[in-house]
Amino acid sequence: MSAVVSPIREPLITGAKTYHQITEDLISPTERTPPKAWVIGLILSIITFSFGAFCILWTIWHGIGTWDLNRTVGWGWDITNFVWWIGIGHAGTLISAILLLFRQKWRTGVNRAAEAMTIFAVMCAGLFPVIHMGRVWLAIFIFPYPNTRGPLWPNFNSPLLWDVFAISTYFTVSLLFWYTGLVPDFATIRDRASGFRKKIYNFLSFGWTGSAKHWQRWESLSLILAGIATPLVLSVHTIVSFDFATSVIPGWHTTIFPPYFVAGAIFSGFAMVLTLMLVTRKLLKLEDYITIEHIESMNKVILATGSIVGVAYLTELFISWYSGYVYEQFAFFNRALGPYWWAYFGMMFCNVLSPQFFWSKKLRRNVMFTFFMSIFINIGMWFERFVIIATTLARDYLPSSWSLYSPTWVEIGIFVGTLGLFFVLYLAFTRVAPVVAVAEIKSILKTGGDQYVGPKNAHKMNHDHEDAHAHEAH
């Protein structure tokens, strides 16, 4: 009887790297003069962000009437974009927290950029509800704090207040998790720097020495934060879905929204991570650290969550038919065959049909196809949010209230401006910190067979030790 041989998984770090080479490859981009592509990207992002800032000021000066909100469509592009940005931020928390708890080693190549993406996406998302209030200087009224206003207190029945708690909690935990992972790498940059730059990174690294005690505390804190962040993956977009599900509007008042929104958020978040990482991988020459194995693993998650989203779409259609509720039936008939039919079918094609290509291993491992699909999926997920909001509100119970919504240049400018803000922050991040977590990459480096070098032994991997070995080799 022949023995069953388990397939050997491809390494997550290629190129037969040593600890010293890993440090050089991942730290040196923060020390070198940025390439021309980075400078051009930053200039374009700043111009785009500046235009968005102008549109925000225009809205504040002239009022919310500069948007094409009308009798029924009280939520336009702003809430569509809010939900879209929150969804994009979901992948960072899932990659960081859940995959860490499940000890998935492939997360180490992409978790740092995904965590940064989460923070920047939440910052972009938080702009929209505040601007949508019209009088942005009254945003202080949504925060529950001791005051002298007597009976005037935030309405805890308002979904707007739920979003405040969701965004603030999500942002705080994500920021702590991201910064905790950065501390050892900041210390490595500090040890290689000099002058004022050394003082800055010494402050940012909290006096990290790489002792076994420091690694023990770092690992404990990471696990605690992962445990706290894991429920956020489910809770944050569930709360966002309650903005719709707790209403009485046909097409929104449904219990499938929470799991459907969470799956969609992870789906779009992983697509955005792939978009960013494939570009970063090429520009910073990180092919040995963000490998085809990483790309394939992420495409598998996209396939799974995309299939869940497709099931949710079909379930909505079935329930609207099976319920016999004419208003619900009309809401979905209007989505598919009404004036916004192009958005509905664009959503179905991008989110349901296109991920099915990833059943093919060849396509899952094709970099160009993956990059194309990642952009395609995020367009589809934006269409989904637009379909849920605009098509549902454009047709009210009273035909006399029916109207069509299309964005003005101000709304488009604000959305484009948040894209500019996002890329300005991401490009700045690539200059001040390693895009790939150095300490975590070293912890999965195979030094002999399948030997695993844990973080507690990583104090042996600091660059001084590596340089000494390099000199000995010479």
Q: Among the listed ranges 17-21, 160-164, 337-341, 369-373, which one has the minimum average pLDDT value? A: 17-21
Please tell me which residue, 347 or 446, carries the higher pLDDT value: 347
Residue 5 lies in a domain: no
Burial 422-447 (b: 16+ CB within 10 A, else e): bbbbbbebbeebbbbbbbbbbbbbee
Q: Per-residue pLDDT averaged across 391-399, rounded?
A: 82
The residue to which tokens 């929150």 are assigned: 86
Contacts of 9 (CB under 8 A, 6+ apart): 293
For residue 338, CA distances in Å to 28, 330, 383, 405 come to 55, 10, 15, 13
d(CA 451, CA 77): 51
Residue 330 lies in a domain: yes
- 109 in Cβ contact with 281 (< 8 Å): no
The pLDDT of residue 425 is: 92
Q: Per-residue pLDDT averaged across 169-188, rounded?
A: 87
Cβ atoms within 10 A of the Cβ of 6, count? 5
pLDDT for 47 beyond 90:
yes
For residue 216, CA distances in Å to 101, 222, 335, 429 come to 16, 10, 54, 27
Residue type, 50: S
Q: Per-residue pLDDT averaged across 430-443, rounded?
A: 82
User: How high does pLDDT run on average in the chain?
Assistant: 82
pLDDT in tens, 97-149: 887 777 777 777 788 888 888 899 989 988 888 888 878 887 877 777 776 76
Residue 474 lies in a domain: no
Residue 449 DSSP label: T
Residue 7 lies in a domain: no
Q: Per-residue pLDDT averaged across 391-411, rounded?
A: 84
pLDDT in tens, 287-327: 888 888 888 888 998 999 999 999 999 998 898 889 888 88
Residue 59 lies in a domain: yes
pLDDT for 46 beyond 70:
yes
Residue 237 lies in a domain: yes
Q: Among the listed ranges 3-7, 111-115, 217-221, which one has the minimum average pLDDT value? A: 3-7
Which residue segment(s) compose the domain that 96 sits in?
19-140+155-458
The pLDDT of residue 371 is: 92
For residue 30, CA distances in Å to 17, 25, 34 come to 20, 10, 8
Residue 468 lies in a domain: no
Number of domains observed in the structure of the chain: 1
Please tell me which residue, 399 or 6, carries the higher pLDDT value: 399
The pLDDT of residue 180 is: 87
DSSP string, 102-128: TT-GGGGGTHHHHHHHHHHHHHHHHHH
Longest dimension (CA), the chain: 84
Residue 242 three-state SS: helix
Residue 209 lies in a domain: yes
Chain center to CA of 187: 26
% of the chain exceeding 70 in pLDDT:
90
Binned at pLDDT 50, 70 and 90, residue 470 comes out as very low
- 159 in Cβ contact with 110 (< 8 Å): no
CATH code of the domain covering residue 160: 1.20.1630.10
Nearest to 97 by CA among 174, 169, 183, 182: 174
The pLDDT of residue 466 is: 43
